[in-house]
Structure 1
Amino acid sequence: MTQTVGTIQIASLVKETCGHFKLGLPCPKGMWPAVAQFRLAANGILLTDAFIKTSQLWPDGSIKWLLCEGLIDLQHHSVSDEVVLTLDAVESDSPSNKLVSPVNNNDEALSLSLGNGTTFTINKAKPFEFATGKHFSNSFDIVDIAPQSITPTAFSYILHCNNNEYSAVTVEQQYEIGLGNNKRLIVETEASIFLSTGTVCGHVTLRNPSAALHPNGKWDLGDPNSIYLKECCLTFTGDALESSLTLDAEVFRSCEHAEITLHQASSGFEHWQSPVHVNSDNVNSLPFRGFKLYQPDHLLLSGDQAKPQIKISNSGSTFSIHVDKFWQNFPSSALLSANKVSVSLLGSRHSKNTELQPGEQKTRSISIAPFEVQSLQVVIDSAWLKSTSVLPFLPSRPCKFDSLIKAGIEGPSSFFQKRIDIDEFGWRHFGELYADHEKALEPDAPFFVSHYNNQYDPIFGMLTQWLLTADIRWFELADDLAKHVADIDVYHTSDDKPEYSGGLFWHTDHYVQAYTASHRTYSKHQPTGVYDDHAGGGGPGGQHCYTNGLTLHYLLTGYTPSRDAALSITQWVTNYYEGDGTLLGALLALKNSDLPGVKNVKTGKYPLDRGTGNYLQARLDRYELQGCDSDIEAASYIIEHTVSPNDDFDQLQLDNVEAAWFYTVFLQALCRFISLKEQRCECDSSYRYAVDSLTHYANWMAVSEYAYLDKPDILEFPNQTWTGQDLRKLCVLYFASNYLTKTQRTIAEQKAEQLADTIYQRLSASTETNTTRVLCLMMQNGHYSGFKQAARPLLTTSTQKGQTSTKKSSSLSYLLTHLFAFSPSRERKQLVKRFPQLQKWLGKP
């Protein structure tokens, strides 16, 4: 049966344009077995340059998510045409036995036989180095640095078939490049090569894997372990190679000019000299506004934002080269000369050195094809999405806050405009949200630089808005933000202490500017004592952990850096609460057991706060990505050791709002756990414990909760952020009402309705509503009706899967566990991570 699964809106067309799409597609439980094969069509025309693979399964083994990638010939379509994608399951899609594999794999290279009769050869010794027949060869280069070593560390490929023909090969590579002075650069590539034409669509990630020193908990630019790069680029060479660059509808050819250089030095907007762009000296040193196109002795063109189209030709064949978001990721450059073209991925040889901080990475998307390639975004069909039940909390109807949320994409306070206001552009900043609410203490400051770092998960909120409205602007914001967070806001190292390694950096410290901390919270230039309990230093912390958006972004797009970032954050937050398994870590955990915000290993008790709630969400996200029951079991353990159906609310002091408001964050995660258990049809003891705990808290909320700003005198900063947090109460009450008695349900729903009216009145009347933090809270929690519909109470026992643990923790048992697992090598490794000064005697981790 043919299923309509999505639509594509064509934005623009040029001659010989082909569209590329990559789509994660949810599927109803039980509809298709894991071995099912499919065919994809666009407006009824079968797509041959495409492939479909299973990415996630339901617990019953049926397909939950598919990943579809392919090319669509757009020459038969017009601008604003709607292309309808349909999916068909077929009996078998295995290639005929008579077909010969197009892949020749040996130790040195992977060779692919293309449909046009040429050979596409990938060199395994170096990253992203390949040749297409006799047309051209491509290499990855680092300008002004001769690598001391290039070591391949991983290589894999998957051969895809479609319509009983081999259609594409996906290749993943990883390399470690030695740069001297104990500096390393990790290069990872992932690319799909379509076998009919040799079209390449993929991305390259550049990473500094070292740990930062962060003296006194400060994370300023200029760290001794930073890597300074002039330019990392892709270089294309070939005999009699001719090249052209089209800019502002004007074509410049290498055969007609001497060497041609395009240099995008800054955003080109009015505030290009914003302090967002300060270097390690706290100085903005960008050389000029916008871009320049020139020969060695002659300026050809200048302007604000360059959107180049680059082509190379020889032997009668022409290829288009595209590096996504060229001007947005400045400094960027392109160089065209005789028989050679280079396009930068990070930095520009014509700008000052680019500092890649320890644990920082940058990913760039690339296409190389014998035609212009337009990136297409598929909008999933709403009826199909609803039928899959993959996103149970996605509401089926609009909410009263939709008009307020829309300010995020329209008007003077939109996220697009906020980018321009503070000039949130450049390779390190593009995609980030400007935390404009933080200038509350300095409202008249011309530039108050504060970065948001995905607090309250706007990636998830924006993707939710996109799925509900099909407005591509929401996806654009979410996609840009997810790529920024995955690269810049996550600490990509395993060489720091486990409480930091792999974690998510906090937003810029409250009410102070970023200065030279960039997106790493704390700077030596920041003032101290700005608010109560102002730490003024530290690193990634368990209270700032958001994986829902990154997980959903991966599932919807197949963008692997988002998946890897979500898994990295989950492992980090697991280490944060559960320890690193060493005796040293155990002793430190015992010492810190009574501190707020950490697990008390003496009792096994987790704090009832947002940190534990987000930890629970992260474990459930990892289950979605990897399907391991151990994460479900861990989630059950966390719940049992955080809340109880018998909790004493007087003892908990939930009326101490400043210290306890975030209990609702945990309860939202508890709702998700219950929903997941219902999807798995597991009415076991852990499910009943979770439901009983939730209803216990919901009954208290229905009687005792109120809108926070009803009592402004007990709040340090009584602003509308508190009203945004009130929305969480609606989510919890509406979900829990499905498990209450009729009388209890009435009381809970009445309280929810009263709160909803109060929240809407306050947010509608406040100018704060358009600030970033309040918008993000509304995007995350405003669709509370989805919580009401998500519940599917299990009234009978479907399966019995274990009992809740009765084992009690103690200091002695905790310590003995780590003594029995003692490993001298592991102790040494973690010791030098925690105390880098010991590396002089004990060696590197």
Structure 2
Amino acid sequence: MIVPVQATRWMGDMGPRQFQSAYVAVTALLLILPICGTTAVAISAEPAARAFPADIALTLTNELPFERKAEPVTCGVPLARGFVSRADDLTLLDPDGRATAVQVMTTSTYKDGTPRWVLLDFQADLPAGGETVYRLSRGPRSPVSKDISYRLDAGVAEIDTQAARFRIDTRRFRLFDSVVVNGRELLAGARNGGVVLQEEDGSRHTGDDVPAEANFEDAGPMSVVLAVRGQICPGGKLPIADYVCRMHFYAGRSEVRVSFTLRNPAAHRHPGNVWDLGSGGSVFMEDFSLLFPLVHDHWISRVGVAPDRPAVAATKLYQDSSGGPNWNSANHIDKDYKVRTSFRGYRIHEAGGVASEGNRADGWLHVSSDVGGVAVGVRDFWQNFPKTLELKGNELRVGLWPHEFAGVHEMLGGEQKTHEILFVFHDAETSDQAIEQRMKAFHRPLYAMPDPQAIYATRAFWPTGPLDRERFEMLEQTCDTFVYPVGGGRASVITKWDQIDEFGWRHFGDTFADNEVSPGRMVEDFPEHHFGRQPISHFGNEYDVNYGVMLQGLRRGDPRWMWMADVLCRHYADICIYHSDAEPAEPYRHGPFTHTTHDTAAFRSTHRMYPSETGKYGLRYASGGPNAGHCYVASLAQHYYLTGDRTSREAFLEVADWTVHSPWFTNMMMGDKRGIGNFLMTHVYAYQLTNDRKYYDAAVKMIDYVQQPFEGLGATLFVKAAGRFLDVKIENDEIDADCQKALAKMLLFGDFYLELTDDKPNRWLEQACFYSELLFTCYIHAPDDHPNRERYFAQGKSLMDQSQSRWPGTYRATKTLIMCFANTGAYFRALDIDWE
């Protein structure tokens, strides 16, 4: 019997009692699980690679020039098995080492029920322009001085944060029905407010036509989330839109963070199996706004546009375009091939006219009077253009798809978009400066970065190794360029966003597929869609860009990377998954779309792969929909663990269920062999997240599906997913027949790759990473006495050594970067083992 060497390495992470239990379990399994054609292998007593820290440092960085006091922070932290037996045993220490109030929720457990991931809610103090460190430790927890009370009765929710009282009637949902601060009501009832959608023909519909469903999520003493799910059903007909509104309330604070998702549940019609704008099934909106009637008509309003500029008196802020150098890019064509942006940037209106204008607004609006006031901001305001914030009479308006835009807003069938909005209600004593600072802080979200040692010791992101700029100088520096411009070219993924103007509510969060080259005739026919021969096209999270960005951010402890990962995951969960039950072609329902197909501009296909133009130029790939070969969703599960974002969790499980129930799985219509590993990886993450056996059984079925090793990118994806499956089995002390089978099939690929004579690794830098990642993964998991274990290491290292001189230390195409930094984790880990 072959026993994974990682089983013994992982035991070293345990305390003595857990180690003894695991050793007995593995030894017993050696006796009772004879496997035909295998050989018994002794278990090595190799120690753990990294000891789990006694407590976990959480570093917060404030880049703003003022202090941030008691600011709500939500963050996920992975725990080593046995670190605590239950979440109640955890405490949070402030920078002075004193226990501070914290809410802890377990989001994933080990098999024995102990926490694997926990989600923290606390309130942090940060110095101006500096950083601070909190620590998660074991011990008694500090009591909450001002906790939240909440109730939901007969469809009416009431929340008291000790700083404000809120009432929300979900039977006729209009967001807030009542907000009371310091004994004063700020709203004039919600009869004329709430969720309002105006169609292209002028018909106006509200979100209170039918009762909504509501429940409290993630509720505790520090924060409460009210989730409201409803539909916009004009005249009792079929819904034209669904919505999910999550309202986050915080102890001792009078602010509410709202996550509002609007979805078109209809099917996208795709004649000829191309997925263009205007092809059918879309909702066309003239306007979609959230309206709030205030208690009287006498308000002073101010708008803010940047962290380094003071607010100015105004009644409306409107962002028409990104404000970038290519603000009118062909990236923004509509169904009629028209770009509808009207001017560069934003305009501020006062007394009916334009008072000032600029390029990019971190937008917020503050209205106040003698009874108090409210400020509202939309996260990533200019990036998600068009947007409006307006005070008109006594009505506060948040225009998420505003009528001020020259074109109609088209939401495709199965498409959704989530906006994050902050409302800060206050009394008459609160200063304008305090409100201004809070709104500026909202546009610079805090990310609590866990100690990288905790990441290495838990296998939460695995395999990987520590950041090492001495041994891997050029590789690490090349990876840096995903976020930071480095070297003479001064390019990064962020600067590439400006090149094609990858902004707007649909585009922001994808990346430019700048590795593509269009046919010469297409370039001649559509020069405005190209930079040289590079087409405007979208990468679409191929090879799970988002996972790689999270991993590199955690290795670096850098919040800028985590902001990028947050943006990418939000986009992918909304735009790149087909959120529709109505699609008649069952294999497509709830599946993920992929990148723009090769060798073409996106044109009107936006983020749905196949524009109709592909048929004109004899391209290799000219039609199709969601498919298994491009199912890269593990990052959404990890995003949920790190941030608590339920939209990502729901999107991940939506696709996970698709992988189990869709004909893509049941008939093994894998599209290409990448789908095998993609599905297996999805099943493993879904099983860890839910403990639902259906995902485990699906994973085993995918392993059974592989009978012989094969070559190509799909081989690496399968081996990596099989490695993840083994990690989970080892975590659960399950060294059984399924574990044995997965390891045996993994090593078949390793042996097969040792004999390949393909020169692709010498032609493609990223191919070298894929080949070596497969070999290093086999090395990590192979038993010490496996005859080819050292050959896996030697050949993998030879490939990477030959690649060292090819790392430029400057920006390469997005595809090269992601295939490299998301496929070097086993390399880092293998060399870490070698150095130990």
Q: TM-score, normalised by structure 2?
A: 0.81
Structure 1 contact 706–755 (Cα < 8 Å) conserved:
no
Which residues in structure 2 correspond to 1:260-659 (within 5 Å)? 260-295=315-350, 297-369=352-424, 370=426, 371=435, 372-373=438-439, 374=441, 375-398=445-468, 400=472, 401-411=475-485, 412-439=490-517, 441=519, 445=532, 448-496=535-583, 497-528=585-616, 530-531=618-619, 534-577=620-663, 589=667, 597=670, 609-643=673-707, 647=708, 654=710
**Relative to structure 1, is the Cα distance of residues 130 and 79 closer, same or farther in structure 2, using a 3 angstrom cutoff?**
farther
Equivalent residue, structure 1, for 2:45: none
**CA shift at 1:114, angstroms?**
3.7
Structure 1 contact 331–348 (Cα < 8 Å) conserved:
no
1:754 aligns with 2:798: yes
Structure 2 contact 101–122 (Cα < 8 Å) conserved:
yes
Identical aligned pairs, as a percentage? 23
- Select which of 207, 216, 238 maps to 1:157: 216
Deviations along 1:71-127, one digit per CA (max 9) or x if unpaired, are 3344xx2212x211123445578999xx998334322421223424x5311121215
Counterparts of 2:165 and 2:697, CA distance in 1: 50
SS in 2 for 1:666: helix
**CA shift at 1:566, angstroms?**
1.3
- Select which of 235, 238, 263 maps to 2:295: 238
SS in 2 for 1:150: coil
Structure 1 contact 213–224 (Cα < 8 Å) conserved:
yes
Structure 2 contact 518–535 (Cα < 8 Å) conserved:
no
1:140 aligns with 2:194: yes
SS in 1 for 2:747: helix
**Relative to structure 1, is the Cα distance of residues 495 and 444 closer, same or farther in structure 2, using a 3 angstrom cutoff?**
closer
Q: Which amino acid aligns with 2:311?
A: V
SS in 2 for 1:699: helix
Structure 1 contact 110–121 (Cα < 8 Å) conserved:
yes
**Relative to structure 1, is the Cα distance of residues 449 and 214 closer, same or farther in structure 2, using a 3 angstrom cutoff?**
same
Equivalent residue, structure 2, for 1:838: none
SS in 1 for 2:755: helix
Counterparts of 2:241 and 2:68, CA distance in 1: 38
**CA shift at 1:293, angstroms?**
1.2
**CA shift at 1:179, angstroms?**
3.7
Counterparts of 2:745 and 2:608, CA distance in 1: 37
Deviations along 1:152-176, one digit per CA (max 9) or x if unpaired, are 3421115844xxxx43322111001
What runs of 5+ residues in structure 1 fail to find an aligned partner?
255-259, 581-588, 599-606, 711-717, 793-845
SS in 1 for 2:83: coil
Structure 1 contact 22–69 (Cα < 8 Å) conserved:
yes
- Select which of 768, 771, 778 maps to 1:726: 771
Structure 2 contact 81–458 (Cα < 8 Å) conserved:
yes
Counterparts of 1:790 and 1:501, CA distance in 2: 43
Deviations along 1:500-555, one digit per CA (max 9) or x if unpaired, are 11111121110011111111111222344545xx2411111111100121111111
Q: Which amino acid aligns with 1:554?
A: Y
Structure 2 contact 264–412 (Cα < 8 Å) conserved:
yes
Counterparts of 2:218 and 2:614, CA distance in 1: 53
**CA shift at 1:700, angstroms?**
2.7
Q: Which amino acid aligns with 1:464?
A: L
- Select which of 80, 86, 89 maps to 2:135: 86
1:206 aligns with 2:206: no
Structure 2 contact 773–827 (Cα < 8 Å) conserved:
no
Counterparts of 2:328 and 2:258, CA distance in 1: 33
**Relative to structure 1, is the Cα distance of residues 471 and 323 closer, same or farther in structure 2, using a 3 angstrom cutoff?**
same
Report the count of equivalent residues.
731
Counterparts of 1:35 and 1:50, CA distance in 2: 11
Counterparts of 2:713 and 2:290, CA distance in 1: 50
**Relative to structure 1, is the Cα distance of residues 71 and 235 closer, same or farther in structure 2, using a 3 angstrom cutoff?**
farther
Counterparts of 2:729 and 2:79, CA distance in 1: 19
Structure 2 contact 196–291 (Cα < 8 Å) conserved:
no
What runs of 5+ residues in structure 2 fail to find an aligned partner?
1-52, 427-434, 521-529
Counterparts of 1:345 and 1:42, CA distance in 2: 38
Counterparts of 1:757 and 1:57, CA distance in 2: 39
- Select which of 813, 831, 834 maps to 1:771: 813
User: Larger deviation: 270-279 or 243-252?
Assistant: 243-252
**CA shift at 1:305, angstroms?**
0.5
Structure 1 contact 450–508 (Cα < 8 Å) conserved:
yes
1:128 aligns with 2:159: no
**CA shift at 1:380, angstroms?**
0.7
SS in 1 for 2:209: strand
Q: Which amino acid aligns with 1:388?
A: T
Counterparts of 1:9 and 1:550, CA distance in 2: 24
Equivalent residue, structure 1, for 2:34: none
Equivalent residue, structure 2, for 1:831: none
Structure 2 contact 258–421 (Cα < 8 Å) conserved:
yes
Counterparts of 2:832 and 2:631, CA distance in 1: 24
Structure 1 contact 493–502 (Cα < 8 Å) conserved:
yes
Equivalent residue, structure 1, for 2:431: none
Counterparts of 2:686 and 2:757, CA distance in 1: 33
Structure 2 contact 91–141 (Cα < 8 Å) conserved:
no
Counterparts of 2:802 and 2:604, CA distance in 1: 41
Counterparts of 1:639 and 1:519, CA distance in 2: 31
User: Larger deviation: 222-231 or 612-621?
Assistant: 222-231
Counterparts of 1:31 and 1:732, CA distance in 2: 27
Q: Which amino acid aligns with 1:544?
A: H
Aligned-pair RMSD on alpha carbons?
3.0
**CA shift at 1:427, angstroms?**
0.5
SS in 1 for 2:650: helix
**CA shift at 1:47, angstroms?**
8.1
Q: Which amino acid aligns with 2:614?
A: Q
**Relative to structure 1, is the Cα distance of residues 35 and 518 closer, same or farther in structure 2, using a 3 angstrom cutoff?**
closer
**Relative to structure 1, is the Cα distance of residues 184 and 491 closer, same or farther in structure 2, using a 3 angstrom cutoff?**
same
Bigger relative contact order, structure 1 or 2, given CA contacts below 8 A and separation 6+? 2
**CA shift at 1:45, angstroms?**
7.6
SS in 2 for 1:781: coil
- Select which of 40, 54, 71 maps to 2:92: 40
Equivalent residue, structure 1, for 2:749: 697
**Relative to structure 1, is the Cα distance of residues 92 and 459 closer, same or farther in structure 2, using a 3 angstrom cutoff?**
closer
Counterparts of 2:624 and 2:105, CA distance in 1: 43
Equivalent residue, structure 2, for 1:222: 278
Counterparts of 1:2 and 1:778, CA distance in 2: 33
Q: Which amino acid aligns with 2:304?
A: T
Structure 2 contact 598–621 (Cα < 8 Å) conserved:
no
